[in-house]
Structure formats: C-alpha cells, structure tokens
C-alpha cells in the first residue's frame, strides 16, 4: 500500500503549487496559468482557446497542456534552474525561471525573467494581451474631411465661394483686363489641367 499512499500524497500536493519530490528520479514542478477575465476580449484579437495553451519547459524539452482549472505539472525534473514558457495566442507571457533545489525540496523559487519580479507561488499571468491586427478607424466626419477627397472638395468649395468675393473686391480695370485675357485663351483644355500641361 505504500506506493498508493505516496501517489495519493502526490495528488494532494499537486493542488498546493509546490515543487515536490516525485518518485525518486526527480522533482515535480506544479503551477497554474491564470488569465484574468476581461483581458483579450476587447478588440479584434480572438483570445486563444484555453485548451490550446502550451506550457514549455526549457525551450521544448517537455511540452504540457493545461487542465480545465489552469493547473499544469512537469514530472521528473532534475534539480537546477529551469525556464518555463507559456505559449498562448493572444497573450504575452513572460518566461519564468524556476529553481528546483535539491537541498530543501518543496520550496518555490520562481521569477519572471522579463521584469525580474519574484513569484511567491507559481501562478503565471499574462503581462499583456497581444493585438495582432491594426484597428480600422471607425467612420467619422473628420476622417472624410482629412482624406484627399475631402481636401479636394474643400478646396473646390473654397474656389466656388471665396473666389467670387475676391473678384468683387477687384479693381474694375484689372477685371476688364483679366476678362480680356480669358477671352483670348478660350476654353481651358484638358491638357492644360494636367501637370505636364500646367507647366507651359
């Protein structure tokens, strides 16, 4: 019955977020990934499904998945300093350094490598959510005005309404001369509108 008792103990310990000595040939790292509610639900980026979150030890040595409650565990880990990474679409997780000590088993030594923040227990939370797409600006009147078409329209309106005012304030003689010139020129051709034609 001894092995059963030990295994039961192991099951109990796994809920207590500790590093415990497994069955002889290594230690166990237990932890939990927690995604706060509300994060990642805004914007376009769909939050990755919980079932697709991977927890990776030492750059791919062991890959595990999360239980429905977010817990994970790595078994048979030798003593030393390890690196735990969480791969989740839509969230940015900092890798975590986890020290597994042979001298005092059961003690958690974990720290986020990104900001060197120590963790009292191995609960991994995303530092931020990741937005993979640019967000399209919603429709607004300012955008239309600022767009090239809007500016063009503005310019045309300017010409239509302000120019006659300017013409009114003109010297009658000068006006006459201008009209004379206009008559000589005739119909403005399309060619003269184009940049090439405009220069000559």
Contact positions with another protein (CB under 8 A) in 121-180: 130-136, 139, 144, 147-149, 151-152, 155-156, 179
Residue 198, CB-side half-sphere exposure with 13 Å CA sphere: 3
185 is a contact residue toward another protein (CB under 8 A):
no
Measure the CA–CA gap between 48 and 87, rounded to whole angstroms.
10
Measure the CA–CA gap between 139 and 142, rounded to whole angstroms.
9
106 is a contact residue toward another protein (CB under 8 A):
no
Q: Which two tokens stand for residue 17?
A: 């977020």
Q: For residues 44-73, which are near another protein according to CB under 8 A?
A: 44-46, 48-52, 54, 56, 58-68, 73
| Among the residue ranges 18-26, 33-41, 101-109, 166-174, the one whose residues contact another protein (CB under 8 A) | 18-26
31 is a contact residue toward another protein (CB under 8 A):
no
Interface size with another protein, residues (CB under 8 A): 76
State the distance between the two ends of the chain, measured CA to CA, in whole angstroms. Answer: 103
Nearer to another protein, 95 or 105 (CB): 95
Say how many C-beta atoms besides its own lie within 10 A of residue 100's C-beta: 21
């Amino acid at each position: 019955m001894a092995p059963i008792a030990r295994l039961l103990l192991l099951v109990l310990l796994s809920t207590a977020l500790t590093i415990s000595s497994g069955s002889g040939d290594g230690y166990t790292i237990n932890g939990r990934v927690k995604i706060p509610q509300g994060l990642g639900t805004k914007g376009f980026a769909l939050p990755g499904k919980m079932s697709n979150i991977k927890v990776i030890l030492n750059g791919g040595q062991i890959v595990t998945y999360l239980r429905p409650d977010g817990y994970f565990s790595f078994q048979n880990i030798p003593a030393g300093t390890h690196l735990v990474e969480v791969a989740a679409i839509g969230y940015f997780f900092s890798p975590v350094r986890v020290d597994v000590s042979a001298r005092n088993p059961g003690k958690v030594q974990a720290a986020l490598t990104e900001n060197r923040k120590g963790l009292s227990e191995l609960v991994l939370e995303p530092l931020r959510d990741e937005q993979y797409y640019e967000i399209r600006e919603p429709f607004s009147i300012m955008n239309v005005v600022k767009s090239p078409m809007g500016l063009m329209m503005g310019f045309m309106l300017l010409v239509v309404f302000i120019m006659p005012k300017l013409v009114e304030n003109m010297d009658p003689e000068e006006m006459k001369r201008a009209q004379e010139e206009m008559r000589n020129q005739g119909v403005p051709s399309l060619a003269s509108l184009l940049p090439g034609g405009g220069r000559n």
